[in-house]
Amino acid sequence: MKVLHVGKFYPPHKGGMEIHLKQLVAYQAKLIDVDAIVANDGPRTHSERLDGGLITRVASFGTLASMPLTPALNWHLHKHPADIIHLHTPNPGGALAILSSPRSRKLVITHHSDTLGRPLLSGLARPFVQAAMKSASAIIVTSMTYRDTSIELAPYRDKCVVIPLGIDPRRFSRVEPEMVAKIHSSFGARIVLSVGRLVPYKGFEYLIHAMSDVNAVLLLVGDGPLKGSLQALIRETGMKEKVFLLDKIEDSLLPSFYQAASTFVMPSINRAEAFGIVQLEAMASGLPVINTSIPSGASEVSIHNQTGLTVAPCDPQALSDGINMLLEDHDLRARFGLAAKTRFYKEFTAKQMATRTIDLYRRLL
C-alpha cells in the first residue's frame, strides 16, 4: 500500500495541521509506504526523507487568501505511484490539484475545520472543494460534534468517519525536574497554564480578564498577531505581576511547563477551534482541563466533570469560577488529572490515530 498525504505545509512550519501531518507520517511509516507533498516557503522544490517518509516541498510563489500558490503540485501528484491520496483540508490548492490530476486513485480527506471568516477564499474554493468531497471515498472528521454541525460536511455525512487527533506521549514524559523547580521559583506553585497561537478565536482576552478574580499566576505560552494587543490588555488591567505572556519557550521545554502547572485552560470562543490539540498535551501531562462549550469537538476531548470542566465561552466569570474550583480542591484536581491522563492513553495517542487511519485505507482498498 502506497499512501500520499497532501497538506499545506510541514514542520518546522508551525500549525496544528502541520503537527498532525507529521505525527501521521511518522507512525504510518512504521507500517506502510507513506510520503507527503506540501508547499515550500519559497520558489524552489525540495525533497527530503523525514519521519520515515519522503517529504516534497513544492515551489510556492506567494499566497492568495492564505492559499499557497504551487503550480507544480499537479505534476508531482500525477507522477507519484500512490494507491491512496490523503488530502488535508482546508486546502483549496490541494483539492484543485487532485481534481486536475488525470490519474484515478482512492481519495481520503481529513477535514480539520470549515473555512471560517475568509469569504474570499471560501467563495473561490467552494466549487472544487465540494467536487473533491463528492469524489472522496471517505472523509475523516475529528469529532462527532464537528461532523454533525458542519455546513460544509452536511451533504457528505454518509461518508464521514470519526478518527480523533492524537499526539506522541513520549514527548510529555521527558520532563526536566530542574526546569520545573525553576518555573516554580519564578512564578510560584499556583500556576494556570494556557498555550496557543495568539489569534482571535482563542479567546485569551477573556482568560486575562478572568485572572483578576483568581489567586494564581497565568502563564500564556504562544505568539501571533494579537501579541501586542494582549500585552496592552495585561498592562491596562494592572496584571503585569499576575499574567505573563511567554513567546520564546522552546518546544523541548514545554512539557516542564505542563508539569509545573496546576490546571490548564483553553478559553476558545468559536468553532474555529475545531478540536484543540493542546488539550491532549495537558491530558498527557496529567493536568485537568478547562475548556468551553463551543459548537465543535473541543468539549468531546476533555469531558465536563470527568477530566476537567466545560464552561461558557466569552465569559470571564465562568472561567474564574472554574479555575478557582480546581485550585481550591486538591482532591478534585488530582482526580480529574488522573482521569485526563487515562482518557488520553485510551483514545488520543498518535499510534491509535495512525492505525485507525490505516484500517480505513485497508477497508477502502
**β-bridge partners, 72:** none
Q: Is the distance from CB of 284 to CB of 167 less than 8 angstroms?
A: yes
Which pLDDT value is given to residue 128? 81
Query: What mean pLDDT value characterizes the chain?
Result: 93
Most confident by average pLDDT, 8-17, 95-104, 343-352:
343-352
Residues 6 or more apart whose CB falls under 8 angstroms from that of 177 comprise none
Number of neighbouring beta carbons within 10 Å of residue 151: 7
DSSP 167: B
Q: Is the distance from CB of 293 to CB of 312 less than 8 angstroms?
A: yes
Q: How far apart are CA 12 and CA 18, in angstroms?
A: 8
Q: Give me the domains of the chain, ranges plus CATH numbers.
A: 2-166+349-364 (3.40.50.2000), 169-347 (3.40.50.2000)
Average pLDDT of 165-189?
93
Write the pLDDT tens digit of every residue in 94-152: 998 898 887 788 999 999 988 766 666 666 777 888 899 999 999 999 999 999 999 88
Q: Helix, strand or coil for residue 153?
A: coil
Q: Which of residues 123 and 67 earns the better pLDDT score?
A: 67
Which pLDDT value is given to residue 122? 66
For the full predicted model, state whether its pTM sits above 0.85.
yes
Model confidence band, residue 331 (pLDDT cutoffs 50, 70, 90) = very high
Written in H, E and C, the secondary structure of 113-168 is CCCCCCHHHHHHHHHHHHHHHHHCCEEEECCHHHHHHCCCCHHHHHHEEECCCCEC
Q: Is the distance from CB of 7 to CB of 88 less than 8 angstroms?
A: yes
Q: How far apart are CA 190 and CA 71, in angstroms?
A: 52
Q: Is the distance from CB of 265 to CB of 319 less than 8 angstroms?
A: yes
Which pLDDT value is given to residue 119? 65
Average pLDDT of 140-168?
94
Write the pLDDT tens digit of every residue in 252-308: 899 999 999 999 999 999 998 999 999 999 999 999 999 999 999 999 999 999 999
Which pLDDT value is given to residue 121? 61
Average pLDDT of 208-221?
97
What cell does 315 get? 465569559
